Amino acid sequence: DAMVIQNPRYQVTQFGKPVTLSCSQTLNHNVMYWYQQKSSQAPKLLFHYYDKDFNNEADTPDNFQSRRPNTSFCFLDIRSPGLGDAAMYLCATSKGTGGPNEKLFFGSGTQLSVL
């Protein structure tokens, strides 16, 4: 089945140690998103790629970076994780046809713990 896949499901890192989360999709969608969701809170958009065009949210910390080497894969890099970066990270995709009816398809998320 076509889907959005996130690996790993759980990731533990140390304070200040760089970590990379990965997302892949078989939907051939143009847009890929990264959301951060802290416990009992709404998901918050960090950035998204429309094809190769990177779009950063104004309040996303510089500590967060992203790479999209091809249509299928997108990575979230956290350069120096702090305790406050512990969260669920959700990857999502959409077709990119535009319009308010564009549905997002989500992966299962990666739960990041920072020790």
Partner 1 sequence: AQKITQTQPGMFVQEKEAVTLDCTYDTSDPSYGLFWYKQPSSGEMIFLIYQGSYDQQNATEGRYSLNFQKARKSANLVISASQLGDSAMYFCAMSLSSARQLTFGSGTQLTVLP
The position carrying tokens 């809170």 is: 41
Q: Using the rule CB under 8 A, is 69 a contact of partner 1?
A: no
The helix or strand, by DSSP H or E, that contains position 77, with its residue range, turns out to be strand 73-78
Instruction: Give one word for 96, left, alpha or beta, with left for phi > 0 and alpha for psi -120 to 50.
Output: left
> d(Cα 65, Cα 68) in Å, to the nearest integer?
11
Among 65, 73, 88, 113, binds partner 1 (CB under 8 A): 88
Give the residue among 8, 20, 6, 11 at the shortest CA–CA distance from 114: 11
Closer to partner 1 by Cβ: residue 27 or 45: 45
Q: Using the rule CB under 8 A, is 96 a contact of partner 1?
A: yes
The tokens describing 30, both together, are 């143009």
Interacting stretch for partner 1, rule CB under 8 A, among 17-25, 33-41, 65-73, 75-83? 33-41
Among 43, 64, 85, 87, binds partner 1 (CB under 8 A): 43
Question: Shortest Cβ distance from residue 46 to partner 1 (Å)?
Answer: 11
Question: Shortest Cβ distance from residue 104 to partner 1 (Å)?
Answer: 6
Closer to partner 1 by Cβ: residue 73 or 106: 106
